[in-house]
């Protein structure tokens, strides 16, 4: 696990002007936050942490903060129509609004990024209560998605000022999820490179991997992807765009139903994927089904692995290897009725890549689901 240092990181290119400690939280705008919180607790094993709403003096929204190890989700719903949150849900359905990043200095993060061309979402603001101070600032990224910079080095409370501790009698056990591994954005035709440039210029990220439509294509559809990483590698944002194929790309289907660009999936890390996925399936989470033929020549493709093959095959867990090690991964079906946001569960055993060897099997499985929806 990553260790906590807040110093500016020196990279080959010099000082990292936007040192990030990792993902602080992911905020979802949802139609019913009370029910969503119950779902994420029950189905994924999150714990109740904090709450803000009318009872705490917030008039326009209710927000539930839930956590599992270092993974924090905020579920926010509007209390009335005709406001930014309600309009976001009307347009996009439930989805990711905020990818919040932990910083040492939120004022500096805002200045460094806005002076390099980022559009401001939130000017730096200091929030204080008897537990200390949190400083927030924010910038826009693709679609209606935003990055909020969170400075909490002087705060001891459960989440941030404005929230109260949320204690519940119902506390389902953890499923072993640990932290955000990466968050993927889907952007429109010819928009991948402009957003790659945004992360390079505005946030000082580097393009660490690229996949073209030859790498990511099936008989029917294609997409392109570039992985952006910050200096210390704690924050990774792959960016996908659709590519021409015989039929509709899964990225196009997302853009249609999300009605614009947005977060396609959040990858959640575990140290024991067989245990976590067994648990999640027993709680009702549905995963993409991979043809069992995928496992016939798996070991000849990826070499020896520590895990028994049978449970991987039974659960549908995919394996891929790069020069540093291997990884195990699996993808849920979309978590909404719209075919939009889904989650990846990932266990890394040395590999720092993203499962290129699994793309074909995975996208064929996605296409089978797309065809069922009549969208291929």
Contact residues for Fe ion, defined by CB under 5 A? 267, 344
Name the residue nearer to Fe ion (CB basis): 148 or 267: 267
Alpha-carbon distances, residue 2 vs 93, 103, 107, 204 (angstroms): 34, 15, 24, 20
Name the residue nearer to Fe ion (CB basis): 24 or 344: 344
Name the residue nearer to Fe ion (CB basis): 252 or 344: 344
Residue 109 beta carbon to Fe ion: minimum distance, rounded to whole angstroms: 25
Name the residue nearer to Fe ion (CB basis): 76 or 276: 276
Name the residue nearer to Fe ion (CB basis): 50 or 267: 267
Residue with tokens 């039974």: 314
Residue 186 beta carbon to Fe ion: minimum distance, rounded to whole angstroms: 12
Phi, psi of 140 (to 5 degrees): -80, 150
Name the residue nearer to Fe ion (CB basis): 185 or 231: 185
Write out the H or E segment, with its range, that includes residue 113: helix 106-114
d(CA 120, CA 140): 6
The answer to whether residues 226 and 211 touch, using CB atoms and an 8 Å cutoff, is: yes
Other CB atoms closer than 10 Å to residue 197's CB: what's the count? 12
Residue 355 beta carbon to Fe ion: minimum distance, rounded to whole angstroms: 7
Nearest-10 Cα torsion for 25, 265, 177, 22: -40
Residue 100 beta carbon to Fe ion: minimum distance, rounded to whole angstroms: 19
Alpha carbons within 13 angstroms on the beta-carbon side of residue 91 total 17
d(CA 140, CA 144): 7
Name the residue nearer to Fe ion (CB basis): 116 or 206: 206
Name the residue nearer to Fe ion (CB basis): 26 or 267: 267
Question: Both tokens of residue 339?
Answer: 């075919």
Residue 337 beta carbon to Fe ion: minimum distance, rounded to whole angstroms: 22
Burial 313-343 (b: 16+ CB within 10 A, else e): eebbbbbbbbeeebbbbbbbbbbbebbbbbb
Residue 153, SS3 per DSSP:
strand
Question: Both tokens of residue 293?
Answer: 């033929």
Residue 356 beta carbon to Fe ion: minimum distance, rounded to whole angstroms: 11
Q: What is the CA radius of gyration of the chain?
A: 20
Residue 328 beta carbon to Fe ion: minimum distance, rounded to whole angstroms: 13
Residue 330 beta carbon to Fe ion: minimum distance, rounded to whole angstroms: 11
d(CA 100, CA 24): 5
Residue 362 beta carbon to Fe ion: minimum distance, rounded to whole angstroms: 10
Name the residue nearer to Fe ion (CB basis): 267 or 335: 267
From the list 42, 101, 86, 32, the residue with the least C-alpha distance to 66 is: 42
């Amino acid at each position: 696990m990553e260790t906590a240092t807040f110093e500016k990181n020196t990279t080959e290119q010099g000082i990292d002007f936007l040192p990030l400690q990792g993902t602080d939280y992911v905020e979802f705008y949802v139609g019913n936050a009370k029910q969503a919180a119950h779902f994420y607790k029950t189905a994924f094993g999150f714990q109740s942490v904090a709450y803000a709403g009318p009872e705490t003096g917030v008039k326009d929204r209710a927000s539930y903060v839930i956590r599992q190890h270092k993974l924090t989700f905020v579920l926010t719903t509007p209390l009335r129509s005709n406001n930014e949150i309600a309009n976001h849900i009307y347009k996009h359905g439930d989805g990711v609004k905020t990818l919040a990043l932990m910083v040492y200095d939120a004022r500096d993060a805002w200045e460094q990024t806005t002076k390099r061309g980022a559009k401001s979402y939130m000017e730096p603001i200091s929030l204080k209560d008897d537990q200390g101070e949190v400083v927030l600032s924010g910038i826009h990224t693709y679609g209606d998605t935003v990055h909020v910079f969170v400075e909490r080095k002087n705060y001891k409370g459960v989440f941030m000022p404005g929230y109260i501790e949320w204690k519940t009698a119902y506390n389902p056990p953890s499923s072993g999820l640990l932290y955000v591994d990466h968050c993927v954005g889907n952007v429109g035709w010819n928009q991948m490179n402009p957003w790659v440039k945004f992360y390079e210029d505005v946030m000082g990220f580097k393009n660490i991997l690229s996949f073209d439509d030859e790498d990511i294509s099936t008989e029917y559809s294609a997409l392109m992807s570039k992985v952006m990483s910050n200096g210390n590698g704690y924050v990774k944002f792959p960016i996908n765009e659709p590519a021409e194929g015989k039929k509709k790309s899964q990225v196009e289907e997302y853009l249609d139903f999300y009605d614009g660009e947005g977060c396609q999936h959040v990858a959640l890390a575990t140290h024991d994927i067989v245990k976590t996925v067994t648990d999640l399936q027993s709680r009702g989470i549905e995963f993409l089904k991979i043809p069992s033929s995928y496992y016939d020549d798996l070991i000849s493709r990826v070499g020896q692995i520590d895990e028994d093959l049978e449970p991987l095959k039974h659960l549908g867990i995919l394996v891929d290897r790069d020069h540093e090690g291997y990884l195990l991964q699996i993808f849920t079906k979309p978590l909404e009725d719209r075919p939009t946001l889904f989650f990846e569960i990932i266990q890394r055993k040395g590999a720092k890549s993203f499962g290129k060897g699994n793309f074909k099997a995975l996208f064929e499985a996605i296409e089978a689901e797309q065809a069922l929806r009549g969208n291929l």
